Structures are given as structure tokens and as C-alpha cells.
Amino acid sequence: MKTVITARRLITPTELIESPVVVIENGRIDVLLSRELKETPAGARQLDFPGLTLAPGFIDVHVHGGAGHDVMENDPSSLQAIQHHMARHGVTGYLPTTVTAPQDNILRALEHLGKAVAGGDDAKNGARPLGIHLEGPFISHAKRGVHSPENLVEPSPQLLDRFWQASAGTLRMITIAPELTGALETIRHANTLGIHCSLGHSDATLDQARAAIDAGAGHATHTFNAMRRLDHRDPGIAAAVLTADKVSADIIADGVHVDPSMVRLFLRAKGRDRAVLITDAISAAGMPEGRYRLGPLDVEVRGNRCEYQGRLAGSVLTLDQAVRNVVSFAGWTLEDAIRLATSNPAHLLGETARGAIAPGRAADMVALADDGTVRQTLVAGELVQP
């Protein structure tokens, strides 16, 4: 059955269309018009969002959990709760993100999450897992954050292959510290597997980071956090990330992990095409203050801060709030801010079916108020229920 959706306006996100009409069939966008249909397709369901703006569904490439659950729990109902929570905040696609743990635990999580990714087209009432993000164990001791030091290992193509096989080929991104022995070889091998390498949790020098970019690393993980400090005489990895035109980068724009002035600096450096918003959200997202899990860690949550032994440990940020924060912190328009949560992460992942509203694309959309507040989310053309 076809569905006809109307709204006040639509952000594709590169174009603004007034009085749009979107026709959906079999979970995909069939027709997109900027004028009223003279005839509604026979038997079509109609959805009208008066006064609201339609935009592509958001994509979060770095999220550990939400709604009281962690993605490394071996429980399909936990993932469903996380996915429903994210969809309520406009996210229709995401990369469940692991943390450093004993290798057997990582392998079990990859196997469980790989099955969820493979069955993602059957997901109901929530965001769809598009692949897996492996954050750790290929990270620096010096910039490990809260990742367990005893479980960090040097990267190698052989170990990456083991993780890849456990995920049944659904591993889409790894965070890797380029200064580690074996990092460049592992980055080159990851490229042959179609895995995107993201530089992060790193104390790399400028030259070490540039060598990794030359080897094929094309992204950076939560810029400024868990990175060598940006210094005018020792610029380090942050300068490599900010100045490399071919590198995209993500940031946690919650005002806690990064000061708003540094968010503005980041956005000026990476621009509207290379900046990506992430949440780095943990199980506490959408929950009251208290103690929550991040992989094997017990994290204390007060207000907007998640801490383990006094150090930041993920966030309670939602992606719709991150979009609104870009508008607030940097004075960007909502249309431009939306690109950082839609087309940019889709381009990063090579997701040609998502990230934009256009014929042939997945009917993943969000209906927003003028201030960016999410009012409704559609996954494959179906409304996500509150």
C-alpha cells in the first residue's frame, strides 16, 4: 500500500522544498513533489504533518546504548529498547558501538550484533543497525579514557580478521590509534574489507596521524576528546584531523565534552560536508540520574555528566539535541545542522539508500518543529510509536 505524506516544508537536506508531497511504497520513496497532487493514489494512506518540517532520519555512527541498556548485552530485547529510544529522538540508522573488553566478550558482542545487523530490515518500531563500530581495543594507553588498560592490544590484520569474522562481515568502522605498532598495516587491511578507519583515542603526533591518513584512514572519533592536546608548536593528531580536506570527523556537541567555542572552531574547520554529529551515548541516555553500565564499567550519571573514576565515560546526549546545539553554539541554520546528522554520516558509511529524501531512498524520515524538536519519526515509512 502506498502512503502519501504532506508537511509544511521538507529538507532533503541539500534543498528546501515548500509544501512537499512524498509518496512511499514498500518502505521506499517513490515520488517527491513540491506541489499538491491532483489525485491521491487509490487506496493510499495519508499522513499530514501541518506546520512541521520533514527531514531525513538521523544516523548515529557512535552509540553504546540508551533506555537503560548497553549494546554489548547479549539480549535482543535490550537492542529493541535502545533502538526505540533513539527513534524517538529522530535516529533511524546507527552503528552499535563496542568498548574495550576481554577479547572473548568482544567476540560474543560482535556475533550478537552481527545477527542484529543482518536482520535489520525486519526491525520494527526503531532505528536500524547499519553495521558495527569497534571502539577499542586498538587504542592508546595514554589516551584510553575509561577503556580498560589490561584489555588494550596492538592492532594487527590477523586480529582484525578475527573480529570481522565474528561480526559475519558487518563490522563497518574501527577506532584506531595510528601511533601503535601495526596500525598502518591494519588500516590498509581494513580498507580491503570495506571497514572505515577512524582515528581516535590517540596520542599521535602530526606526522603519525598524517601517515595514517595516507594509509587510508578517512575519519576521526569524537574530535578533541581522548586526543593529544592541540598545541601551536606540537599540533598533533587534532591538527591533522582539522586540516585534512579528505578526512571527515565527528564531535560530541553536548557542551560537556567540548566547549561551545571549540565546537565552532571544529565546524569552521570541517565545514558543512565533513563534520559529523555523534552522541557517544551510554545506557543512561533517556534515564534518570544513577549508576549505569558502559560495557564492563559501572558509570555514575549526574545531570549531563557520565563519569567513571572521575573521568568522562560517554554521554546522555541525543542526536536531535546535538543538532539543536549546533544551531545554538554556532549560529547555523537548522537546515545546515541537519546535514551533520544525515547526509554526512551516510556519505561516511557509503550509505546510498539513506541520508537524504529522494526517490529510491529508504523512507526514513523525521518530522521536526521549527526549533528542531522531534515530533514524529518514520522508519521505512512506518511511524514509530511513542
The grid coordinates listed for 230 are: 592541540
- Total residue count of the chain as it appears in this document: 386
Q: What are phi and psi of 6, to 5 degrees?
A: -125, 155
Which residue among the candidates 203, 250, 254, 280 is catalytic per the annotation? 280
Which positions ≥6 away from 370 have C-beta within 8 Å?
Answer: 53, 334
What is the pairing mode between strands 21-25 and 3-11?
Answer: antiparallel
Is 280 a known active-site residue? yes
H-helix segments, the chain: 76-88, 103-118, 157-166, 183-193, 206-215, 236-243, 260-274, 319-330, 334-339, 343-349
Local structure of 121: helix, strand or coil: helix
The radius of gyration of the chain from alpha carbons, rounded to an integer in Å, stands at 20
SS (H, E, C) 37-69: CCCCCCCCEEEEEEEEEEEECEEEEEECEECCE
276 closest CA partner among 237, 245, 322: 322
C-alpha 381/C-alpha 378 separation (Å) is 5
Q: Of 339, 145, 329, 308, which Cα lies nearest the Cα of 255?
A: 329
3-state SS assignment for residue 36:
coil
Rounded-to-integer distance, Cα 22 and Cα 5, Å: 5
Alpha-carbon distance of 331 to 309, in angstroms, equals 35
Instruction: Retrieve residue 92's grid coordinates.
Output: 533511524
- According to DSSP, the β-strands at 275-277 and 365-368 are unpaired
Active site residues: 280
